[in-house]
A and B are shown apart, each in its own frame.
Chain A
Amino acid sequence: MAIKVRIPAPLQKLTQEKAEVEVRGKSVKELIEDLEKNFPGIKDRICDDTGKIRKFINIYVNEEDIRFLQQEATALKDGDEVSIIPAIAGGVK
């Protein structure tokens, strides 16, 4: 099943500058694995060494933060929209 994923600016280098990609997966965990398969190196940016999502990156399924759902085990269904949203520093010097 195809899930649309919103890719934030800091990670778009890994997705050939695409802000939205389609991947497959029945859970957020599977989605991250499929992202990594398609865009090698992206998992490292999203997850730390232990495989947990980094503290300055949030993943939303539709409008909900997965930290308040079932975290990485959060189930996905066709048509869901996933957003990866990192903390961004702000202005530019």
Chain B
Amino acid sequence: MTLRDDQIERYSRQIMLPHVGGKGQAKLLDGKVLIIGAGGLGSPISLYLAAAGVGKIGIVDSDKVELNNLQRQIVHSTANVGKAKVESAKERLTGLNTDIEVVSYNTRVSSGNILDIIKEYDIVVDGSDNFPTRYLMNDACVLSKKPLSHGGIFRFDGQAMTILPGESACYRCLFPEPPPPGLVPSCQEGGILGAVAGVIGVIQANEVLKYILGIGDLLAGRLLVFNALESSFRTVKVRKNPKCPVCGENPTVTKLIDYQEFCSLRKKKG
């Protein structure tokens, strides 16, 4: 791939990095990334990937933009309240970078559609806000050997990990099963500062860029734990668990599971 003059100009500040160069930029333009969720995490993830020139970005979300989203979901704008999140995101991302293709999926991922959707992408990014989607995504990525960047936030805590199926631990190696309803804090107890979502989302975007470029050390086999009140980052080791229900020696999860929604408030409010 030969870069056009406007591409060389647009991406000059990353092309000048010895880790990127023209070759790296070509890899990014060739890259195909699927982001599940166009919310607090999906916003910074998609903005940075689009700006960096990731050639094809898929975004999955079934919600509409609400006024109370805008405090953290920075890909959307006030004018787009009421509009489908994926359409709103597509508008902003293609406005930011005319050089890329944005594919919108105005749907909720399920056991029925997820394998089909992730098939044509190089890496999947978890920007979801609930356990059923998170476990579904993990299992689908492990079963189809797709790398997955995981991110989660709760109040002032954040977590991120990169999963390379077959090579590094998956989300179920870390937490074998989702918590049963009632044992996790309800949505009302949540609350989040937009910048906290930003920190984790940007770490995920950085992981994706490194993965495509083939540089640095990914958060594979390591869980990054962020505390926003202390501005502290810690990492803990995450080993591949031989007893993992999906990637272990005797897997019990061999097909996809649609877990029930945990938070009734979410269903109602969407």
Contacts and interface: CB of A to CB of B under 8 A. Distances in A.
B209 to A, nearest CB: 21
A87 B236 CA distance: 14
Contacts of B265: 93
Contact of A10 (B41, B184, B241): B184
A25 interface: no
23 contacts: A9-B155, A10-B184, A10-B185, A54-B179, A56-B183, A56-B184, A57-B175, A60-B237, A83-B236, A87-B174, A87-B179, A88-B157, A88-B159, A90-B37, A90-B126, A90-B129, A90-B130, A91-B39, A91-B40, A91-B127, A91-B129, A92-B153, A93-B39
Interface stretch (B95-103, B104-112, B190-198): B190-198
A30 B41 CA distance: 38
Interface string B218-241: 000001010101100011111101
Contacts of A22: none
Contact of B152 (A54, A87, A93): A87
A55 B175 contact: yes
A21 interface: no
A50 B100 CA distance: 54
B269 interface: yes
Given A83-B225, A83-B234, A90 B270 contact: no
Contacts of A87: 131, 152, 174-175, 178-179, 184
Interface of B: 37, 39-41, 72, 126-131, 134, 151-157, 159, 174-179, 183-185, 187, 189-192, 197, 223, 225, 227, 229-230, 234-239, 241, 262-263, 265-266, 269-270
Nearest to B192: A92
Interface residues of A, number: 27
A85 interface: yes
Contacts of B153: 88, 90-92
A23 B227 CA distance: 21
Contacts of B241: 67
